[in-house]
């Protein structure tokens, strides 16, 4: 989780004065919204229903989420967070169409 936070906070995805993606969320003073979303681990390769056999168990996932939130709050501000495991209505506005999936 620590390496992912390092990458997230330093990832240059915001435009500089020339319009190039050269600035990080830390550089622009942007906020971070942390929301748990286990459906991203869904296996959709077969059948007509998502499979979640590869998802982390709820206790381990909760511990990872809590750790990640604590670390994120210690390293960056502002941070907003969802409630782990809760049904939530989350809205956002994409500035783009730009979406990245960060991997280690």
Catalytic annotation present for 100: no
Q: State the Cα–Cα distance between residues 77 and 39, nearest whole angstrom.
A: 27
Q: Choosing from 37, 44, 89, 99, which is the catalytic residue?
A: 37
Bridge-based pairing of strands 79-81 and 32-34 is parallel
Q: Choosing from 14, 38, 62, 84, which is the catalytic residue?
A: 38
Catalytic annotation present for 99: no
Q: Choosing from 39, 44, 89, 93, which is the catalytic residue?
A: 39
Catalytic annotation present for 39: yes
Q: State the Cα–Cα distance between residues 45 and 48, nearest whole angstrom.
A: 9
Active site residues: 37-39
């Amino acid at each position: 989780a620590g390496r992912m936070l390092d990458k997230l906070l330093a990832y240059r995805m915001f435009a500089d004065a020339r319009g190039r993606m050269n600035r990080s969320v830390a550089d622009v003073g942007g906020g971070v919204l942390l929301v748990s979303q286990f459906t991203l681990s869904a296996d959709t390769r077969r059948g007509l229903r998502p499979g979640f056999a590869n998802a982390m168990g709820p206790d381990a996932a909760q511990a990872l989420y809590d750790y990640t939130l604590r670390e994120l709050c210690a390293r960056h501000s502002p941070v907003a967070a969802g409630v782990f495991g809760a049904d939530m209505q989350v809205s956002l506005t994409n500035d783009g169409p730009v979406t990245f999936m960060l991997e280690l």
